[in-house]
Structure 1
């Protein structure tokens, strides 16, 4: 039973027996949430003597979980982070989707030209804010933004406003060597390439081979030509390559800041998921620090970002890195944002963590985000190799223990059903295809290899030297020279004639051509198979008549 406080009546705490028997509507729960928050705002005045503050908080958490569909663990974390009034604003803002934003690709166009082109197509948009020169916020559109000619030409990327912040904090310079350690689907990597103006080298890495395809596609569409795309485990990247000027680590997280995009986070994430992400993030951040060159003239910076609002995935990870490596926190260069926690419940973090920045949906109208910028001031590691190996083993064991806990928590019946479903219905490319044995798979692979090489010639074989066979045009016109012009006759060699039959040999023997310069050239062209120049018929007749007259004069003399 709740009473109006305007009538100077206080909220009465419900009994457990009546609560179980009575069915409560969402409107009643909403009203009870308001009443409890009012009681907690001035607890001495409105409290009941029989009930403590923890009982009120437990009831409030229970009602909030029902009303907003959160699990008990995540709601408890949010209640620890925010005051009650701010918590209500955060929960309400998380229920509303964030405005659609796009980033102009400065490699191909300018923001005002892109805005004019999209406005002509019926898109209602505005600049995102004074803090960015490439962002646009879209209010409504008559055409799908993922299929416009401008999108297909690579003039813009559909990207959240919060994902622009880590690249702005990184501030890459031209002709630098930059690593995007977890780059898929390529939004932040392409932003880095556009700021670098396609100079220097950008290494875009991601451990997921399927997601790396999106990076390749987006880089091709957006015109990024200074990138090298790799698919390596980020935790082992120090063994692959080091000596980078700047590194962006957008670490994998629980996604508690993007509840509006993925509402399943509210009910699926638990303490084990947070612990697993925390251990993975620590390992990735240490490897990122090891890959950066502290002696870089322009860089030596690492930017760490997550789309989570939990301190375990943000401040705890940075505080751990400050203890294990020679790094320090520096200002992010972002003009707005809430300062990071230096105190959280009974925990105390390094005082320089106030240089990090937090972003919330209820204050900045963007997804929940965290950004920290680190500067490496020495390449030496402030610990022995044995201690370093021990730390790595601890992290690996913590990750494996978290996975084992997840497997233990799942029921054996659900596990067996899940395994059967995986065996029966494979996902991805093999969906709907029969399950083959190892022998059948080997045979199938061999057939594929044979079919590939069956009709293809080896490109790098040495060319065979074959002697040229001269062709004779059998349709050549036989000119009739005079009988006594024996010196002007030319006999055709047998070696120049292809021996295809007796008739061809006899024709070649009987063939006699006058030995003039042009006729010899024409004959050689015929033998070599080259095209023959056709002279005018009148010129040919006049030449033959002139030749006959000369022969008659010689006979008379």
Structure 2
């Protein structure tokens, strides 16, 4: 009955609300924020408080009697203000919400408690699932870490086995006759060594074969190991602005541990530094330059003098150019050329920072620079573009990025550049005109073969480089034979000299033009020139035949020695060895 009465009262209030102003129903206007505070209070109520409230006896507030005006208005309105029962029920629900917001009684306390219990249960379940997921993730990470550690240890173990096998193979090749296994030829051991080198050091097959052809097996392993360690940091003192002792003392005061390079009058080797060596005040003032020690060598061989005309054909970024300017003491005329325009910016910046005033920067193709400059230079430095097989410690990508085609293209360009450099030299003045050719490659095709080509095409000769150390150039390499004077050139290797792989050759120009040019000033001169060329050709052919015969005799001796070592091998092994050698040569 109480519920029915309450429901009836709500209907009356709702009907009054619909036809009367809010003040007439509520009497007084509530303050702002009352509903919000009631909602907040309701949300903050705990479950225990709600249980206590549900146990309390519900008080039924007496409904105020409606005034005469309200009754008259109700009588004037139709008995049913709603079109359907659903609308009436919806209005009642809205009134319930309104009463709850005003702090009135709530009949759904028990239902809300059940919902809250369910919500708490779901939240707790979610938290447990998250904890389980985190624990599972931690276990998974631990398993993967352990698995990767096992895999890493396995890889280390495999590399250790490969290293031991390489050393054992090299030992067998060093004493092949005593230590070889029965039925295995030298080619089999070399093939196994090449495979292990590729697996252990990560070289391509072409480059691994080239290194094993260039060195004996034991020295090849030393060379490969040296390429895995970086070269020392070196700086070159700019004698245009400072002396080596002054720069060394200033850097030592700044916490730099360094020492003098004995074979260079301007070099310093840095062992340790507490400051950035390329950002000190001395560096910014142009007193020194960060420069690899191997790049000192071609400038030292060039030996530029004061008041000379010098050309640096491939000058960027300017390390060698500024060294030449210091040797010239900012006198004479120095041309710093580079074929790539974007590199000339760094070249100009270094020339300016180091105080070079006798140089100009040009952007010509070195192969065509003769047409622009003509033959006017006393000395030319050609540090030719190359495959970079000597700087693997600085650029490990060379191990797999260089191919036979790269080497062939570089060698072709180097030959053209060297001929252009020789043609750029003047023949006037009576002084010796010098070209220094250098590369940062160890390939014979880019070094001795290029210089030998120039000796055949131009009137030049090789002279001593003037360098106090270095390995002589190769006069023989596999089936190739070069001019005997090639041994005056110098090679540098990381495992022997602790420098980047480098090659330096010094040539002197004897006469202008190319060899075997036809010069006819008259018929008689032409006939005499033809006879002279014929005689020279016959003599050169005889010399080549002698060199070839000597090479064949040496090859036969080597073959006989190998035959003595390989006694006991059957004919089938010999055939297999020849087939493998032919396959390697074709590759």
TM bucket (normalised to shorter chain) is 0.5 to 0.7
Secondary structure at 1:25's aligned position in 2? Answer: helix
Deviates more, 1:93-102 or 1:295-304: 295-304
The aligned runs of 1:75-224 (5 Å cut-off) are: 75-129=208-262, 131-224=263-356
1:270 and 2:403 aligned:
yes
Number of the residue aligned with 2:452: 319
Query: What is the CA deviation profile of residues 30-56 of structure 1, one whole-angstrom value per residue up to 9, with x for unaligned ones?
Result: 111111111111112221222211111
Structure 1 CA distance for aligned equivalents of residues 385 and 211 of structure 2: 20
The answer to whether the 8 Å contact 2:432/2:509 transfers is no
Cα distance in 2 for partners of 1:42, 1:302 equals 44
- What are the within-5 Å matches in structure 2 for residues 228-247 of structure 1? 228-241=360-373, 242-247=375-380
Residue by residue, what CA displacement relative to the aligned partner does 1:359-399 show, whole Å, maximum 9, x if unpaired?
0111111101000000001013223489xxxxxxxxxxxxx
Q: How many residues align?
A: 364
How many Å apart are 1:198 and its aligned residue?
0.1
CA distance in 2 between partners of 1:341 and 1:136 (Å): 31
Instruction: Tell me, in whole angstroms, the C-alpha distance in 1 between the residues paired with 2:429 and 2:443.
Output: 33
Q: Give the one of 401, 418, 426 matched to 1:285.
A: 418
Q: Residues 495-524 of structure 1: CA distance to partner in whole angstroms, max 9, x if unpaired?
A: xxxxxxxxxxxxxxxxxxxxxxxxxxxxxx
Aligned to 1:53: 186
Q: Secondary structure at the match of 1:73?
A: helix
Distance 2:234 2:312 in 1: 22
Q: How does 1:37-52 map to 2 (within 5 A)?
A: 37-52=170-185
Query: Which residue in the other structure is 2:585 paired with?
Result: none
Distance in 1 (alpha carbons) for counterparts of 2:344 and 2:176? 54
Aligned residue runs from structure 1 range 373-452, under 5 A: 373-384=506-517
Give the conservation status (yes or no) of the 8 Å contact 1:184–1:211: yes
Give unmatched runs, 5+ long, in structure 2: 1-153, 520-587
How far 1:299 sits from its partner (Å)? 4.0
Structure ranking higher in helix proportion? 2
Indicate yes or no: 2:504 matched with 1:357. no
**2:467 paired residue number:** 334
SS of the residue 1:376 aligns to: strand
Aligned to 1:31: 164
Secondary structure of 2:310's match? strand
Residue number in structure 2 paired with 1:517: none
Mind listing any 5+ residue stretches in structure 1 that lack a counterpart?
Answer: 1-21, 387-557
SS in 2 for 1:95: coil
CA contact (8 A) 2:423 2:513 kept: no
1:107 Cα deviation after fit? 0.1
Taking only aligned residues, the RMSD between alpha carbons, in angstroms, comes to 1.4
Q: Distance in 2 between matches of 1:297 and 1:250?
A: 26
Return the alpha-carbon distance in structure 2 between the equivalents of residues 385 and 188 of structure 1.
Answer: 38
Q: Distance in 2 between matches of 1:313 and 1:171?
A: 23
Secondary structure of 2:512 counterpart = coil
**Partner of residue 254, structure 1:** 387
Counterparts of 2:350 and 2:317, CA distance in 1: 8
Counterpart secondary structure, 1:379: strand
Does structure 2 conserve the Cα–Cα contact (< 8 Å) formed by 1:329 and 1:353? yes
Say which SS state the counterpart of residue 342 (structure 2) adopts: coil
Relative distance call for 1:211 and 1:385 in structure 2 (3 A) is: farther
CA distance in 2, matches of 1:39, 1:361: 25
Kept after mapping to 2: 8 A contact 1:245/1:296: no
Matched residues in 2 for 1:34 and 1:106: separation?
47
Query: Which residue does 1:394 correspond to in 2?
Result: none
Partners of 1:101 and 1:158 within 8 A in 2: yes
Quote the offset at 1:273 in angstroms: 0.4
Shift of residue 295, structure 1, vs aligned partner: 2.8
Q: Match of 1:66?
A: 199
- State the structure with more CA Rg: 2
Distance apart, 1:58 and its partner CA? 0.6
